[in-house]
A and B are shown apart, each in its own frame.
Chain A
Amino acid sequence: MTDVVKNIFRFVLFLLLQAFVLNKVPPLHQFIVPYVYFLFLLWLPFSISRMALLLIAFAFGLSMDFFTSTPGLHAAPCLLIAYIRPFLLNLLLPQETTELSYVEPSLKSMGWAPYFVYVLILTFMHHAYLVLLEWLQFGNFLYFLGKVTGTTAISIMLIFLIEMLFYRKAKYRTNIA
């Protein structure tokens, strides 16, 4: 399975998972909404160009919005994390080793600590921006903070659950593929 086909599968799968499973979860608390759909963007290959990344993120976010009928609400934070992702990877990765030998970010290709930081920062930015957009007309700051922290914690937990359940074999990049 080539990377393109695999990622198209993930695109659809993450959308359906978010729209029909996680968005249907009855609210446990007003702060908590489980979000993991943006993990698709974190799992895109290293080699993808920055412009392509932005366009994919926009399309992905907008498709998510089709399901929740909130145009732009998910697309904007998706764009933000897609824009920041390359900078963050540059910071976190030892140059010239990982990026060349592995295809995509994962626990194995980056190592526990850098991968955790990578996921944490992008998740936090995504939620902070999303909740900010949602609450712009509102302005209850404590509420904003609580919701961002609550959702981030739940998302991180879900993301690492997914990482453990669906162990991705970190593919070594070869000259053939």
Chain B
Amino acid sequence: MRNIFLFIRRYLNFLIFLVLQVICIAILVSYNKTHEAVFSNVSMEVTGWTDKQYNSVESYFRLKNENKRLVEENNALRNMLASNFSGPDTSKSFFIDSLIKDTTGKVRKFTWLPAKVINNSISSQTNYITLERGTKQGVKKGMAVVAPGNSIVGVVMSTSENYSIIMSLLHRNSKVSSMLKKDNNAGTLEWDGKDPLELTLKNIPKSAKVVKGDTVLTSQYSSVFPYGLMVGRITAIEADPSSNFFTLKVRPATNFSAIQYVYLVDNLLFTEQKQLEEEIKKANQ
């Protein structure tokens, strides 16, 4: 017994080093595997507050570009106003119903919320974006994040009361189902962690006639993102002779280094869909 104590005393520093190392690796691994928020909400509120202070200064430098973009978007929306369209006079009258369920039997599937970006990174292999909008303001885990101009940004990973953290497309674990606009061939969009201007689209069959410059949109199979949002354009085509699939390089439509405001998209039917799919999975087991 005495020897054990002596041993511990002698190598105390080394043992502490080992224990702390193991703790580090453990939280790192569990965090990466599950994407659960290991960090307490408190730490997120604190770093969120610092980010906000920083952003309140930094946002001035981008005000001009952001205004320009907003004007363009306003213009696009204004052009879609009902008053711009006139039809031949008929006895029917149209009106827009803001109810959740409208009379033609359509059900609202997506709701949109604006949010301000207060922290953003593009230089590491696991990039996150912090938004100043949290559970109190209606953010839920798993919401899709879309930039102005309808290009996708990422998915909400964890939320605290007033802040939320987004896993950006520039994250090694991000996976989004996307398709070619031309022929609706769907594949998986990933990022290899190297160049922030280059995403990878996998699992597009070689039968698809892909050309450089083709547009890539979010597919209907993605339960998180609405259908048909802009992802990017194809910049390079790699055909691996050993497989039946292309590996396509895609340049993202979103400018990740200059995001100021984003929209959070909530799929109201998400749980219903997942529930049904889970039931089938269980039945097959």
- A interface residues with partner B (beta carbon < 8 Å): 19-20, 23-27, 30, 33, 50-51, 54-55, 58, 61, 66-73, 75-76, 79-80, 83, 133-135, 137-138, 143
Give the distance in Å from the alpha carbon of A167 to the alpha carbon of B25 in the complex: 37
Pairwise interchain contact A138-B126, C-beta atoms closer than 8 A: no
Ordered by A's residue number, 8 sampled pairs between the chains whose C-beta atoms are within 8 Å are A70-B28, A71-B38, A72-B25, A72-B31, A75-B24, A79-B20, A79-B21, A137-B172
Among A33, A58, A137, A143, which residue has its beta carbon within 8 angstroms of that of B124?
A33
Q: Which residue of B lies closest to A80 (CB)?
A: B21
**One of B10-18, B88-96, B205-213, B231-239 at the interface:** B10-18
Assess the A76–B28 pair: CB atoms within 8 A. yes
User: Closest approach, in angstroms, between the C-beta of A35 and any C-beta of chain B?
Assistant: 11
Identity of the chain A residue whose Cβ is nearest the Cβ of B196 in the assembled complex: A27
Chain B, range 103-135, C-beta contacts under 8 Å to A:
121-126, 128
The interface residues of chain B lying within 8 Å CB-to-CB of A20 are: 54
Contacts of B13 in A (CB 8 A): 50-51, 54, 83
Residues of B within 8 A of A138 (CB): 172, 193
Closest 10 CB pairs of A and B: A72-B28, A76-B24, A72-B24, A72-B27, A83-B17, A71-B27, A27-B123, A75-B24, A50-B13, A30-B194
Q: How far is the CA of A55 from the CA of B13 in the complex (A)?
A: 10
Partner of B20 from A19, A54, A73 at Cβ < 8 Å? A54
**Residues A71 and B28 in contact, CB atoms below 8 Å apart:** yes
Judged by a CB distance under 8 angstroms, whether B70 is at the interface is no
Chain B, interface SS category: helix
Chain A residues, Cβ within 8 Å of B14: 83
Among residues of B, the one whose C-beta sits closest to the C-beta of A73 is B28
Q: Which residues in B have their C-beta under 8 angstroms from that of A68?
A: 121, 124, 128
On whether the beta carbons of B47 and A26 are closer than 8 Å, the reply is no
Any A CB within 8 A of the CB of B26: yes
In the complex, what's the smallest C-beta–C-beta distance from A128 to chain B, in angstroms?
15
Q: Known contacts A69-B128, A79-B17: does B121 contact A51 (CB below 8 Å)? A: no
Contact of B39 with A69 in the complex, beta carbons under 8 Å: yes
Q: A55: which B residues are within 8 A, CB to CB?
A: 16
Contacts of A24 in B (CB 8 A): 121
Beyond the given pairs A70-B31, A83-B17, 10 more chain A to chain B contacts, judged by CB atoms under 8 angstroms and listed by A's residue number, are: A20-B54, A26-B123, A33-B124, A51-B12, A54-B16, A70-B126, A71-B28, A75-B24, A79-B21, A83-B13
Indicate whether A25 sits within 8 Å of B125 (C-beta atoms), given known contacts A54-B17, A72-B27: no
Flag whether B257 is at the interface (Cβ < 8 A): yes
* A80: B residues at CB distance < 8 A: 21
Are A67 and B38 also in contact (CB < 8 A) when A26-B122, A73-B28 are? Answer: no
B282 to chain A, nearest CB (A): 30
- Which single residue of chain B is at the shortest CB-CB distance from A84? B17
Q: Contact between A66 and B39 (Cβ–Cβ < 8 Å)?
A: yes
In the assembly, what is the distance between CA of A62 and CA of B129, in Å?
19
Expressed in whole angstroms, the Cα–Cα distance for A43 and B265 within the complex equals: 47
Residues of A within 8 A of B122 (CB): 26-27
Closest approach, in angstroms, between the C-beta of A83 and any C-beta of chain B? 5
- B248-285 interface code vs A (CB 8 A; 1 in, 0 out): 00000000010000000000000000000000000000
Q: Which residues of B contact A134 (CB under 8 A)?
A: 124-126
Q: How far is the CB of A55 from chain B (nearest CB, A)?
A: 8
